[in-house]
């Protein structure tokens, strides 16, 4: 009788250990899923979930030798909004088991670019005499390019566009964590915020 009891106890322990092992392999713990998801995001290095197109119109003038010259530049540009995921650390993630909520604290959103569409550029000018006699045209072109860059970055940093870029980035990061958690059998809420918020 004791031998049968010992045999049954041994089988129960083996079955329990096997079930535990299989369960751990099929449904990995939340921490493992989060670590794997974090590593996958970090490998992307930079996440760009939103881009916007702007058109800048800038004018520069120059007076020299009693003459004046003016050039206006109309130039479209693309700007991307990025997050440096290489800066995302384990300490930026917080899992609340009670509410099944994952909090993710992202690095600040960055503006990448602008990338000017030079083939779409339009220029208008006056003061050909001064341009012919001096380097006024090259100087005006350089001033306009610098002004165009500043103007596009100013437009890109506008409140509405930044809000849209943050929302798109939040959705992308939420999916990056929610989908692996759901695949592991964990229905979780993912709350994403940015540094400075």
- The pLDDT, as a whole number, for residue 28 is 63
pLDDT bin (cut points 50, 70, 90) of residue 71 is very high
Q: How many whole angstroms from its chain centre is CA 166?
A: 8
pLDDT bin (cut points 50, 70, 90) of residue 20 is very low
- The pLDDT, as a whole number, for residue 42 is 85
Please say if the pLDDT value at position 119 is more than 60. yes
> Residue 46: which residues within 8 A CB-CB, separation 6 or more?
82, 83, 84, 85, 86, 112
Q: Compute the mean pLDDT over every residue in the chain, rounded to the nearest whole number.
A: 85
- The pLDDT, as a whole number, for residue 110 is 94
In this structure, of 28-32, 96-100, 165-169, 185-189, the range with the lowest mean pLDDT score is 28-32
Alpha helices in the chain (DSSP H): 2-26, 30-44, 128-133, 136-156, 159-183
Mean pLDDT calculated for residue range 86-92: 92
Mean pLDDT calculated for residue range 137-164: 96
Q: CB atoms < 10 A from the CB of 191, how many?
A: 15
């Amino acid at each position: 009788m004791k031998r049968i009891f010992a045999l049954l106890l041994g089988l129960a322990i083996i079955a329990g250990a096997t079930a535990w092992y299989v369960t751990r392999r099929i449904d990995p713990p939340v921490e493992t899923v989060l670590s794997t998801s974090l590593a996958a995001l970090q490998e992307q290095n930079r996440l760009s979930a939103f881009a916007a197109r702007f058109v800048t119109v800038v004018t520069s003038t120059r007076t020299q030798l009693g003459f004046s010259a003016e050039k206006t530049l109309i130039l479209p540009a693309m700007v991307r909004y990025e997050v440096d995921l290489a800066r995302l650390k384990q300490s930026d993630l917080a899992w609340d088991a009670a509410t099944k909520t994952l909090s993710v604290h992202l690095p600040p959103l960055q503006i990448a670019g602008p990338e000017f569409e030079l083939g779409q550029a339009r220029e208008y000018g006056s003061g050909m005499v001064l341009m012919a006699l001096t380097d006024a045209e090259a100087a005006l072109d350089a001033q306009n390019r610098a002004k165009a860059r500043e103007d596009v970055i100013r437009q890109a940093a506008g409140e509405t566009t930044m809000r849209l870029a943050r929302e798109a980035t939040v959705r992308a990061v939420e999916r990056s964590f929610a989908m692996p958690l759901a695949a592991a059998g964990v229905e979780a809420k993912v709350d994403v915020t940015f540094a400075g918020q």
